[in-house]
Structure 1
Amino acid sequence: MPQELGFDSGMTCRRRLRDWNEAGVRQRLHEALLAELHAAGALDRPRAVIDGSHVRTMKGGPQPGRARSTVPGQAPSTI
């Protein structure tokens, strides 16, 4: 967050977000938003997307394979 706009330092923001997350604030805000959207008829649950960052697997998910490089390799030599 830019300090020029009156925000605290980035470290302060990270600490506050961490503290709020540990205190359950993010979860309560998420639930309150969902309840408000549902009450307004603006939540289409069948079309909702489950994001892995919000749903924990109980026994852990599958281990990802080795990440493929997105950097192009060297062009083959034409000599």
Structure 2
Amino acid sequence: MTADEGVTLQLTRSEAPVLFEWLARNDGAEALAFEHEAEQQVIRTLEGQLEKGLREVLDLEYAVKLAQARSHVMDAEA
């Protein structure tokens, strides 16, 4: 594997907005303990990629859709 070779992560349409919301809410939070600046950069990159891929973020009903996604994630785990 080379340093620039990509890695694919797979999330469901419900998991993606839940993760995005957590990342966005914690962006810059001092409570997160980063050992190295690179870790914070990777988190920001992931947040940006999710934001670009989620059309729900721009939806006026985003809060409702996020609540539904959270419920779906929890129901899938049960």
TM-score, normalized by length of structure 2?
A: 0.28
Q: Which has the higher helix share?
A: 2
TM-score by length of 1: 0.28
Structure with the greater relative contact order (CA < 8 A, sep ≥ 6): 1 or 2?
A: 2
Q: Whose Rg is larger?
A: 1
